[in-house]
A and B are shown apart, each in its own frame.
Chain A
Amino acid sequence: MSRSFAGWDEITLGRAADLVTGALSLEDELDLRSTVDPRDLEEFELAAGELSLLLRPEPIPVDSVQRIESAVRLELQRSRKPQGHHAAGRRSSAGRGPAGTVAPRTSVTPSPAPVTRLGWVIALVLLGWIVLEPTLRSARSVDEVLASAADAVRAAWSRTDDPWAGQAAGEVRWSDQAGVGTMRFEGLPVNDPAEFQYQLWIFDASRADGAERPVDGGVFDITGPVTEVPIDARLPVGQATMFAITRERPGGVVVSDREHLLLTAAIPAS
């Protein structure tokens, strides 16, 4: 076999091999995922997964089975609760970065002017619809948009070993086509916006410099034990491959030094 898997060069192949054998740092994994076709990498991971089946399965201890089953059922029940039960993440409107541009979209309700003649009423209704329709359309909830987006994906957060990640868990949902998504955080420490803020970075494989310069997804605050934060990247994202959360100074930074890289979520290849 002279040609390597997916036509990768030796360095890429070596990094992919390190990834699936647990020998690649998180930082290098971020770079790798941003530079290769995610479908190729997923195929490579599936190959390693298939090789794992050679492992002789051993039974789970009975008490462990019960605890695992209970925990999974509890989590599933919890995740089925309506979104309204969760605190809404606070998007910062202060400071630099896209924060000011990514506030959750809100619906605008017109205040109808008092009119007496039917023609004016019809005209105003039509005018109002023409003017407001895009606004109303954009006010569709992110959930609705994601539910109807054919390319919508979801990925679980993975914690780094940074102690600031706490016991954080949750997931990110995203659609490249719609350019919207949401992040759900559980257990990420509540922050004082005057002290520090969390910042989202989106690795975009469609950008030539996607590995070195992830798209700034804006800063946000964690306000409770479970927090939902809408994503609305300032720059278009053609093919999101990875989302990463860093801890930054209030207002965020233009380029993160990744000193406090807390969470990552790799988007599964389609």
Chain B
Amino acid sequence: MLLPSHGAAAESLAGASIGGKMTDTQAQDDLLLPRIARGDAHAVQECLERFGPLVWSLARKLMRDVATVEDLVQEIFIEVWKSAGRYDAARASEATFIATIARRRVIDRRRRISRAPGEEVIEEGMRGGDDPGLEMVEVRDEARRAHEALERLQPERRKVILMSVVDGLTHQEIATVTGMPLGTVKSHIRRGLDEAAQLLRPRRQEGEA
């Protein structure tokens, strides 16, 4: 099984979307990005401690070259600093906001360099959510929503999404690893992301500007 199941996921299966952004998982007065936006110098270390492992892991997975990763993580945190002022807690958790910035930066960088096919083999059951001791509170809570969304996808689709979005494999690499035709991989990614986005980001679907 790719993803361990848990009670919260089962409860949410009846709903049309997965509720609760950051407000039920992260207290308003615990928010770091507004402090960063106000120029709180002490927030540098705190931000790195809280979100550094997430950003580092994301860059490592998608880039796989330690020398590049360190430079990239610097770049991402500088970008986080510059973008902190536009963070809206009603739209996303801080972890999601930072992960999204990180993804953009990593993808930009990856586009600039040709990346060798991945040496790593996907290990099923390696994803977060089953070992709270190794994860930060913010990330663990946020990962639960993503976990629940993925559990609703067809198994093949879920597997491909994990390989692509979480493990950073290229579409071709996924086709090679799974034996699926490239077109099928692309279709699973397209449909899987569509479904996951509708579950995780339902408000604009309902006409809310």
Which residues of A are interface residues toward B (Cβ below 8 A)? 1, 3-6, 10, 13-14, 16-17, 19-23, 25-26, 39-40, 43-60, 64-65, 67-69, 71-73, 75-76, 79-80, 153-154, 156, 158-161, 171, 268
Q: A52-B100, A59-B56 are in contact. List 4 more A-B contacts (CB 8 A).
A: A39-B209, A52-B103, A54-B162, A64-B66
Nearest Cβ on chain B to A4's Cβ, whole angstroms:
5
Task: Decide: A69 and B48 in contact? CB cutoff 8 A.
Answer: yes
What separation, in Å, do the CA atoms of A44 and B196 have in the docked complex? Answer: 9
Q: Mark B81-103, 1 if CB is under 8 A from A, else 0.
A: 11100100001110111011111
Nearest Cβ on chain A to B205's Cβ, whole angstroms:
7
Task: Decide: B104 and A54 in contact? CB cutoff 8 A.
Answer: no
Which residues of B are interface residues toward A (Cβ below 8 A)? 39, 41, 44-45, 48, 52-54, 56-58, 60-62, 66, 70, 73-74, 77-79, 81-83, 86, 91-93, 95-97, 99-108, 110-113, 126-129, 131, 134-136, 139, 142-143, 145-147, 149-150, 161-162, 164-168, 170-171, 186, 189-190, 193-198, 200-201, 204-205, 209
What separation, in Å, do the CA atoms of A20 and B41 have in the docked complex? Answer: 32
A-B pairs under 8 A by CB, number = 214
Task: Decide: B190 and A13 in contact? CB cutoff 8 A.
Answer: yes
Q: Which residues of B contact A268 (CB under 8 A)?
A: 83, 86
> Mostly helix, strand, loop or mixed at chain A's interface?
helix
Task: Decide: A156 and B82 in contact? CB cutoff 8 A.
Answer: yes
Task: Decide: A53 and B111 in contact? CB cutoff 8 A.
Answer: no
Task: Decide: A72 and B77 in contact? CB cutoff 8 A.
Answer: yes
Could you list 16 examples of A-B contacts with CB < 8 Å? A6-B204, A20-B107, A22-B111, A43-B204, A48-B165, A48-B197, A49-B96, A49-B100, A50-B96, A51-B150, A51-B200, A55-B54, A58-B53, A67-B74, A71-B74, A76-B44
